[in-house]
Amino acid sequence: MSKPYTTFLFSKFQRLFSKAVWGIICCYFGFISFGFSQQIANNQCTDVSVLSGSMGMKATVGCMPFATSAFNTLKGATNHRYIFDYQGGAPSNYKTTTDSNYTYPKAGIYVVMQLGEKDGRATRSCATVTVQDTTPPVIRLQLCVNGLATLTLPSDPANKYDDYGIQWGDGNGEIINKQTRVVTHRYTDQLPKQVRVQGIHKYGKCGGSTVRTISAKQANEPPTLTKLAITDANTAELTIDNPSENGWLLYRQEATDPFASSGKTIRMSKETVKVLIDTNQITCFKLMPTDTCSAQIESNVLCVSYLKVTGEGALNRVSVAPYRYPSEALQRTVLKNNAPWWKANATEFSRDDTDPSCNNKTCYQLKVETEKGVVLSNVACLPPPPVLCNLLGNVFIPDAFTPNGDGFNDLLEIKGELSQGFKWLIYNQWGSIIFSSTDPKQGWNGQQNGQPAVSGAYFYRLDMLDKAKRTFSKRGSFLLIR
């Protein structure tokens, strides 16, 4: 249980450190002397062929970034050079510096090697420097509606401190060791509280801190399913806001069955989770408390919704399923290529798209807006309608004909599916029009101004209109052979 701050002897340190916990830390540490031994391969800090030097360090333990300096303590020694991150092996393999000051940017245990000379002989000495990590601790803080706060230190690389100082924000605080991963505290009022958790390294008098604000209002705020989006035939993605960071169980409802637990727990303030769905039935989701902390609170409900598109000749027929809870659907909008296309009312479930794209596939998606969340259906796409957009795909013009009067291949004719707005032009080698027709059944007999046209290459252009009055053209060439 937490105790009033007056029970901690830290007041004289308040001017140096933060309001509460750093004061506790200073008294907690006192004046401690310590040493470390660094195990490294092929350690040549001591070598019988060189004299033993003597080196002092301004400081050997501190927080990153940690600035320190080395100094010589061997009388008569000169020409000092330093290796501030010696990791074993011959010192000649390292770049040395004559600067005795150094700043370590990262946490770790480092070996400092001093090289020097005395009376014509080499000297060598080493010291160990420990740089403590100050990454803020990772915490999970839960406040129940009855004022009971639970602070959890989850397993996380950031939580490597020896102890943790906690300020609860109401004049109470405590220090817990690293074995204590869960601690509780009860508030007696409904006011917002700022909770600070300070990591404490036993050596170095430092550590990062994490500050969180909690309130009774936040504790009573239910989680929200903000979005449910179908990602493929078997999967959807739920986006969740959980301002209280209390624990919640994800429940699912299949068709008209009652809601049942999925076994998935939500604890983070914002989470995105993947859920399994079945396109043959409607699945709904909601969050319910994992314990009695928020027993009377649950989230909103979101249900998957589906869309179907079929090609019907020159149009696309778009069908949408009714929402599982119709009264909660404030707006249903069908998006066409990501842009709003059809706002369906409560009784509309099908609409024909008479203007699909002829250049690319056309994609549709249903967007259902509820009071607190959005549902995005599957995305259904169709290629351009052949009847509407491939008017000339089934039109064939021979690449040669022989108008010599033998009854075979004497007429150049167009074969295939011909639509309205038909116009056919034939050009000679100089680009002059020598034949034109708006009758799909009329062919060219190889005559120009009543005389046989000369053998050779000729060119044509064929124009037709689709149902939307758009012009489609086909160009090509053929040979006249006599």
Q: Provide the edge-to-edge strand list for the sheet that holds 193-200.
A: 3-4, 172-177, 163-167, 193-200, 209-214
CA 255, 259, 265 angle in degrees (round to 5)?
125
The highest-level CATH class for domain 307-387 is mainly beta
Q: Provide the edge-to-edge strand list for the sheet that holds 140-143.
A: 140-143, 148-152, 182-186
Query: So what's the pLDDT on residue 467?
Result: 60
User: Of the given ranges (23-27, 308-312, 414-418), which has the lowest mean pLDDT?
Assistant: 23-27
Query: 3.40.50.10210, 2.60.120.340, 2.40.340.10, 2.60.40.1220: which CATH number matches 391-480?
Result: 2.60.40.1220
- Could you tell me which residues come within 8 angstroms of residue 419 by beta carbon, excluding any fewer than 6 positions away? 391, 464, 465, 466
Could you tell me what percent of the chain has a pLDDT over 70?
Answer: 88
Query: So what's the pLDDT on residue 391?
Result: 57
pLDDT band of 374, cuts 50, 70, 90: very high
Helices (H), 213-341: 216-219
Domain ranges in the chain are 51-132, 134-218, 221-303, 307-387, 391-480
Q: What is the pTM of this model?
A: 0.54
Examine domains 51-132 and 221-303 and report if their fold is the same.
yes
What is the DSSP code (8-state) at residue 28? H
Are residues 474 and 392 in contact, defined by beta-carbon separation less than 8 angstroms?
yes
The token pair that represents 443 in the structure block: 């062919």
| Fold assignment, 134-218 | Immunoglobulin-like (2.60.40)
Are residues 400 and 481 in contact, defined by beta-carbon separation less than 8 angstroms?
yes
The arithmetic mean of pLDDT across residues 381-404, rounded, is 79
Taking only the tens place, the pLDDT of each residue in 107-165 is: 999 999 999 999 999 999 999 999 999 999 999 888 887 888 999 999 999 999 999 99
CA–CA gap between residue 417 and residue 314 (Å, rounded): 14
- Domain 221-303 falls under CATH 2.60.40.10: yes
Q: Provide the edge-to-edge strand list for the sheet that holds 302-303.
A: 260-266, 248-254, 283-289, 302-303
pLDDT of residue 296 exceeding 80, the answer is no
CA–CA gap between residue 51 and residue 119 (Å, rounded): 10
- Domain 51-132 falls under CATH 3.40.50.1460: no
